[in-house]
Amino acid sequence: MFYGTSLTSRCLLGTAGYPSPAILSAAIEASGTEVITVSLRREGAGGQAFRKLLSQHSRHILPNTAGCHSVKEAVTTAYMARELFNTRWIKLEVIGHADSLQPDPFALVEAAKILCADGFQVFPYTTEDRIVGEKLLAAGCQVLMPWGAPIGSGQGLNNLRGLQALRAAFPEIPMIIDAGIGAPSHAAQAMEMGFDGILLNTAVAKARNPVAMAQAFGQAITAGHTAYQAGLMAPRDMAEPSTPLLGLADLM
């Protein structure tokens, strides 16, 4: 549940970089997603035709401030998104490093304070830093979106211990892994750790068959969450026979 909205799918899907509008539409359906993200820059390029395509799917729209590098730029973009898409949801990105696209934690918290105070429901793209997470929650965010790895890198979960620590620190806060997921196995791994959702874009859009990849990710996310709920066995240092020794016939 995100800001009081219950969803049945834990897959959130980006809309940039697909080979065609038809493939994007098919990928949305194949993934089973109920939330699709769109940046104002992408929307501006497609205009009304792009908005019409999105409206055909009756999904929740999560606009984002992709490409913003300052508090002023991100806040202004958020206001434009609210007007355009008629939603209080905003995925807040404030980029601090041009090469890694790592979030600027100081600007991110400042922008989150401004937007939360004005009624936005902020989904902050952040690092796995616990202190930053605490400050974002104090600012009014009710969701955290830590990165798995740099945007579009496909590296998976680069800092397992850091992500595990963040998840353990705020067990009641919905958390979505955002950025760096490259394979369905990465998504399943994150869900097995107890995260609440995965936001995807590049791994689906740039696949040889985006529709099949979207379906694979949807299945992996479901499988990983089911495994987490079922309770994964703890790793052991020693082997443990699956067949009990007591009661076996002595054939010697």
φ/ψ region of 249 (left if φ > 0, alpha if ψ in -120 to 50, else beta) reads: beta
Go through the chain and tell me how many residues it has. Answer: 252
What tokens does 153 get?
Answer: 């890198």
Q: What are phi and psi of 148, to 5 degrees?
A: -85, -35
Q: Is 202 annotated as a binding residue?
A: yes
Q: Is 76 annotated as a binding residue?
A: no
Active site residue 135: no
Q: For the sheet with 89-92, list strands across it.
A: 145-146, 121-126, 89-92, 60-64, 35-39, 11-14, 197-200, 176-178
Q: Is 64 annotated as a binding residue?
A: no
Which residues, in sequence order, are CB contacts of 65 under 8 Å at separation 6+? 39, 40, 73, 74, 77, 78, 81, 90, 91, 92, 93, 94
H/E element, 86: none
Q: How far apart are CA 176 and CA 159, in angstroms?
A: 15
- The active-site residue, picked from 52, 72, 91, 206, is 91
Closest CA to 103 of 74, 80, 79: 74
What tokens does 43 get?
Answer: 């929307």
Binding site for 1-deoxy-D-xylulose 5-phosphate: what residues are annotated? 152, 179-180, 201-202
Residues forming the active site: 91
